[in-house]
Amino acid sequence: MPIKVMIKRKWQVENPEELYPLVAELRAAAKEQPGFISGETLRSLDDPEDFLVISIWETAEDWKKWIQNKKRRDLQGKVDSMIGERTFYEMFETVSME
């Protein structure tokens, strides 16, 4: 069953022009990974600096492999340094409410 990963980010940066390409590179690399289904970025209406990325993967294992990928870790590290905090992830699965 596909899993959904919620990635929360605070975009309070002094130089966004340096941050955008890094995030774009991160997304492009994710798309190439086995098990990647889709990704969507949302901005908070209450706080325009708060962003939420919903990343959908075929299995939790696929996501875990990607999270441990060296290239991803390096890129993520650069993004985190610019944002000033680590990125928080939460994994969710769909449940039937019927």
The residues of the shown chain that bind other proteins, judged by CB under 8 A, are 10, 12, 77, 80-81, 83-86
3-class secondary structure, 49? coil
CA dihedral (43, 45, 50, 55) positive or negative: negative
Report the residue number, 15 or 94, with the smaller CB distance to other proteins. 15
Question: Nearest approach, Cβ of 63 to other proteins (angstroms)?
Answer: 19
Cα angle for residues 83, 17, 37 (degrees, 5° grid)? 70
* DSSP 8-state class, residue 55: E
Minimal distance, residue 50 CB to other proteins, in Å: 10
Of the pair 14, 32, the CB lying nearest other proteins is at 14
Q: Which is nearer to other proteins, 12 or 41 (CB)?
A: 12
